[in-house]
Amino acid sequence: MAMIDRIETPALLLDLAKVDRNIARLRGRLDALGVSFRPHVKTAKSIEVARRLFPSGTGPITVSTLAEADYFAAGGFTDITYAVGLGPDKIGRARDLVARGVALSVLVDSVAQAEALAQAACDGGPMPRVLIEIDCDGHRGGLLPDDPALLVLADILRDGGVPLAGVLTHAGESYGARGGVGLPEAADAERAAAIAAAHALRAAGHPAPVVSVGSTPTAHFARDLTGVTEVRAGVFMFFDLVMHGIGVCAIDDIALSVVATVIGHRPEKGWILTDAGWMALSRDRGTQTHPVDQGYGLVCDIDGKPFADLIVADASQEHGIIAVREGSDASLPDLPIGTRVRILPNHACATGAQHDAYRVIEDGGRAVAATWPRMRGW
């Protein structure tokens, strides 16, 4: 059995005990609030990880690409929401999934998208269900709950014979929170917007059985989900330094890390060089605006214990530069050439996307218990 202090680096490491703990935490919270869960698998992009979400088999999931939908459908997941605005060029692929027996929902927020779906439905073939995207905080796409276009889209879909499933929103502005402040209120606003839109549809005689909300921050801080039918969240499985800065998790909850090897020193600059640059860690600098800037990642020893104020301060393609955080009085540790370190990521989705597989450890040990592949592409 391979040991993490002997594997080829850089390598993507997954602590399975932390994954299971993170899943149990959110499932317990949503069960207490009496709402269904449709986890987002865009972070994991792995059948093996997704199966940890549903110990008794498979269940409803959210995806961010149709390649993910194909991959997870092949793995037995047949209730899928594609939670990215639908491009007309993707309607054919979506219909193919429905023809294969997948209960697929797609997302629209414009007349053009609704008309494209209605036009496609003219041939009488299978069509995906449709969710109308609602803007709850000005973060991304979607219609405001009181936008007259909401009913226009619903009319186009109905007249075209395309099934309307309901509404979906995402509280993306919750990522601007710090230390948990404002997250309960963001969750309240998210819920209110989705429910208002669903009520407007129903009042006009349209179905809206699905009221879908979700982001990892609001899912953990929601106080009341009455009227919501399902919650979506994705990065909660792994967590990361952005989630820590927002106030959703502790450092010890972060299940994903990159194992790197020390390959050089520049003592006159206060640098330690590793073989994990931005190709292994990603270019994501999501903590740059946080009170604590984690650089390109927080550096830990091989067992996952963080060094005091030690970060990847800079990165080129295949080099990481480890240094003490600016302003800290911590000392640079003695890490000889060949020493292995673990780097906690700013953004688990972005760091994971740089790798083809997870090296899985159990109970915080050093032995690699399994290698789980990740899917990639669109």
Show the tokens assigned to 222: 């929601």
**Backbone torsions φ then ψ of 176, nearest 5 degrees:** -85, -5
For residue 357, tell me if it sits in a domain: yes
Residue 364: per-residue pLDDT: 82
- Give the percent of the chain with pLDDT over 90: 98
Q: Supply the pLDDT for residue 360.
A: 98
Q: Are residues 128 and 227 in the same domain?
A: yes
**pLDDT reading at 56 higher than 90:** no
Q: Are residues 100 and 220 in the same domain?
A: yes
Same domain, 261 and 231: no
- CATH code for position 79: 3.20.20.10
Inform me whether the pLDDT recorded for 1 exceeds 80: no
Q: Are 161 and 262 found together in one domain? A: no
**pLDDT bucket at 12, cuts 50 / 70 / 90:** very high
CA atoms within 13 A on the CB side of 301: 11
Determine, yes or no, domain membership for 30: no
The beta-carbon contacts of 297-301 under 8 Å, at least 24 apart in sequence, are 297/241, 297/258, 297/343, 297/344, 297/345, 297/346, 297/351, 298/241, 298/251, 298/343, 298/344, 299/341, 299/342, 299/343, 300/257, 300/341, 300/342, 300/343, 300/344, 301/341, 301/342
* pLDDT at 177 > cutoff 90: yes
Check whether residue 52 and residue 200 sit in a common domain: yes
- pLDDT tens-digit readout, 79-94: 999 999 999 999 999 9
Kindly state whether residues 64 and 194 are assigned to the same domain. Answer: yes
pLDDT digits (tens, 9 = 90+) for 17-52: 999 999 999 999 999 999 999 999 999 999 999 999
Average pLDDT, the chain: 97
> Based on the structure, what is the number of domains in the chain?
2
Report the pLDDT value the prediction gives residue 203, as an integer from 0 to 100. 98
Same-domain status, 95 and 183: yes
d(CA 135, CA 194): 8
Same domain for 233 and 122: yes
Q: What is the rounded end-to-end Cα distance, in angstroms, of the chain?
A: 34
Residues 104 and 231 in one domain: yes
Position 21 in a domain? no
Which tens digit of pLDDT belongs to each residue from 346-358? Answer: 999 999 999 999 9
pLDDT at 172 over 80: yes
Domain encompassing residue 287: 255-373
Q: What is the 3-state secondary structure (H, E, C) of 99-154?
A: HCCCEEEEEECCHHHHHHHHHHHHHCCCCCEEEEEECCCCCCCCECCCCCHHHHHH
At which residue do the structure tokens 């796409």 appear?
Answer: 141
Establish if 9 belongs to a structural domain: no
Model confidence band, residue 55 (pLDDT cutoffs 50, 70, 90): confident
Question: 4 in a domain, yes or no?
Answer: no
- 349: domain CATH number is 2.40.37.20
Q: Is residue 247 part of a domain?
A: no
In-domain check, residue 74: yes
The string of pLDDT tens digits covering residues 212-264 is 999 999 999 999 999 999 999 999 999 999 999 999 999 999 999 999 999 99
Regarding whether 191 and 88 lie in a shared domain, the answer is yes
State which of 210, 237, 264 marks the end of a domain.
Answer: 237
**Pick from 162, 167, 170: which is nearest to 109 by CA?**
167
Bond from prior residue into 10 cis (ω within 30 degrees of 0): yes
Tell me whether residue 265 is in a domain. Answer: yes
24 phi and psi, to 5 degrees?
-60, -35
- Do 215 and 317 belong to one domain? no
